[in-house]
Structure 1
Amino acid sequence: MELVSAHVHRALAYLRLLNDNGVDPSSAHLDFFAREPDPKGAEYRSAMFGTSIAHILSLTEEKVRDADRVAEYLGKVGWVDLSNDRLRLTDLGRVVLFGLGQEGPTEPGLPTVADIVLEPTDPLAWVNLTRVVAAAGGGMLVDGYFKPDLVPWLVESTTVRRVLISSKHPQAKRDLGLMAVALGTVPNADDLEVRATDSPELHDRCVVGADGDVRLLGSSVNGVGRNLTAIMKPDPEVMRFYRSRYEALWKTASVVEPQAPGRPPATAAVEPRKAGPQT
């Protein structure tokens, strides 16, 4: 069952794209785009008959009422704030758009959102981040400062099963010990592999999908909901660079071994990988 019509979906996706890039359009602007997303081509009428079908219908049908304005409709259902003529999606409107498919409509010619802004005031910031990470399938999260208390979120909400972190930052020793405990105690974390590298090449955060797709994270996952950041899709050549570089770091990184309750953490936090062929 179609939840909303294509032109309403188009308007929501377009408004989100503008709002997330600092633009609040007028209601007239949004109505025009919803009605005319592309320039119209030339129209012809038959030279033989000299009268278009639309003209014939206009002579035989009486208009009962004007069509609803899209902006007014979106305001009535609570998806857009109409308190002034500069429009913004409401929290409810963002939820609806997420439910329709946050990447936007899939029909030819409709806008899609490749980059996502995660605002501290956006109640869907974590939802949007989760959607991006979950889309990576069995890929890899690269985040030098990824915290142990986020292990339950990663295991329960995504299928990512590789995490590459840093062992060089000031809190690394403490975090690695706690990470080992989290891996040994969080349900279903036993199939999550975390490795730590001391390489200075580990800097930018990203998600490497199982299909090789890469999304760059503007901040550590720990900062989502607290700092303004964004998720960005780089061009294919940049994707290739990040993918190959971080896969190389993964192969030489140390495995963070799960810490079973009662086992001394000093010998279990990090176990260097043995030399030899890597799989």
Structure 2
Amino acid sequence: MATPVPDDLLRIAQYVGLAEDAGYPLSERQLWTYAETPLPRRTTDLARLGIFGGRGALVDAVPYMRRVGWILTLEDGTVRLTALGRAVAKSGTTGVLAEAPAPVGLVILSPDDPLNLATLTRSIAGAGAGMLVDPYFQDDMFEWLMSSTSIDRVLLGRKATKLGSLPFIAGAAAKMGRGLSVRYLPPDRMHDRYLVAENGDLSMIGASLNGVHRNDTAIMRVPAPGAATIKRRLANLWDQAMPVEPKSSLTE
């Protein structure tokens, strides 16, 4: 089926996605270089990769992709696909940027695996616009969550006096048009960590996502009927939780 996205722009979106999935965020300079450099001739290997081909260069690609909301440039100069950008990349892929798998079965995360973060990203992104329940999820993980997944609800364990930068994170998400609701309960109300996928699948996460670079852990599908019971409890906890009100300035 034909895609309404121009092939050359689609190819650049796929390029950023490929780098992210490999655990290598591109700098904007690297992306400019890719966009501006004439494409090489097709060879068997390059044709198999599917990210080259065609002729010419796109000197306006990066500002265009930023303007239309496909990419974000972070403070350190690296470029990330937004949820929209990832969807655009997937819309025309021919097997290069594989559809993120749903969080089914068993996923092992080892700190000794150099692609540990890429594996984690695929697993969480596979939940679509789902809910992450992680009582110990830290503020500095939200940038990764917002730029690399479509998760739209996060339930944390926090004291009302310990919200830290959460209001500003929620404000940044609102300003970006990134649908993200963050709620919190007292720390003693929760312990286990879960991922509720957009399609209703439920997975249990062994350790907090903050520690996947330190500890071996796993993401495991919870079978029915136990999943239904847990999801009802999580829904009740979400309803009882306090929302984090977004702020965009210190004077609010």
> Match for 2:195 among 176, 200, 207?
207
The yes-or-no answer on 1:125 pairing with 2:113 is no
Q: Higher strand fraction: Structure 1 or Structure 2?
A: 2
The answer to whether the Cα contact below 8 Å between 1:145 and 1:220 also exists between their aligned partners in 2 is: yes
CA distance in 2, matches of 1:212, 1:102: 16
> Match for 1:198 among 178, 186, 195?
186
1:236 counterpart SS class: coil
1:183 counterpart SS class: helix
> Match for 1:116 among 103, 107, 112?
107
Give the match for residue 207 of structure 2: 219
Give the match for residue 182 of structure 1: 169
CA distance in 2, matches of 1:101, 1:198: 36
Q: Runs in 1 of length 4+ with deviation above 6 angstroms?
A: 98-103
The answer to whether the Cα contact below 8 Å between 2:100 and 2:126 also exists between their aligned partners in 1 is: no
Residue 119 of structure 1: how far off its partner (Å): 0.6
Residue 118 of structure 1: how far off its partner (Å): 0.7
Letter in 1 for 2:147: E
The answer to whether the Cα contact below 8 Å between 1:184 and 1:190 also exists between their aligned partners in 2 is: no
> Match for 2:131 among 132, 136, 140?
140
TM-score w.r.t. length of structure 2: 0.55
The yes-or-no answer on 1:234 pairing with 2:225 is no
TM-score w.r.t. length of structure 1: 0.50
Q: Percent of aligned positions with the same letter in both sequences?
A: 38
Q: Which has the larger radius of gyration?
A: 1
1:216 counterpart SS class: strand
Residue 159 of structure 1: how far off its partner (Å): 0.8
CA distance in 2, matches of 1:164, 1:229: 20
CA distance in 2, matches of 1:183, 1:100: 30
Letter in 2 for 1:153: W
Give the match for residue 246 of structure 1: 234
2:164 counterpart SS class: helix
Residue 201 of structure 1: how far off its partner (Å): 4.0
1:248 counterpart SS class: helix
CA distance in 1, matches of 2:99, 2:169: 33
How many pairs align?
Answer: 154
CA distance in 2, matches of 1:260, 1:231: 34
2:218 counterpart SS class: strand
CA distance in 2, matches of 1:182, 1:102: 25
CA distance in 1, matches of 2:152, 2:98: 27
Q: Which has the higher contact order (CA 8 A, sep 6+)?
A: 2
Give the match for residue 151 of structure 2: 160
Residue 173 of structure 1: how far off its partner (Å): 3.4
Give the match for residue 69 of structure 2: none
1:242 counterpart SS class: helix
The answer to whether the Cα contact below 8 Å between 2:168 and 2:246 also exists between their aligned partners in 1 is: yes
CA distance in 2, matches of 1:101, 1:150: 23
Query: 5+ residue gaps in structure 2?
Result: 1-95
CA distance in 2, matches of 1:218, 1:173: 27
CA distance in 1, matches of 2:190, 2:204: 13
Give the match for residue 21 of structure 2: none
CA distance in 2, matches of 1:133, 1:102: 9
The answer to whether the Cα contact below 8 Å between 1:155 and 1:188 also exists between their aligned partners in 2 is: no
Residue 256 of structure 1: how far off its partner (Å): 0.5
The answer to whether the Cα contact below 8 Å between 1:183 and 1:190 also exists between their aligned partners in 2 is: no
The answer to whether the Cα contact below 8 Å between 1:183 and 1:189 also exists between their aligned partners in 2 is: no
Residue 189 of structure 1: how far off its partner (Å): 6.5
For residues 11-26 of structure 1, what are the structure 2 equivalents within 5 Å?
none
CA distance in 2, matches of 1:199, 1:120: 26
Query: 5+ residue gaps in structure 1?
Result: 1-97, 104-112, 265-279
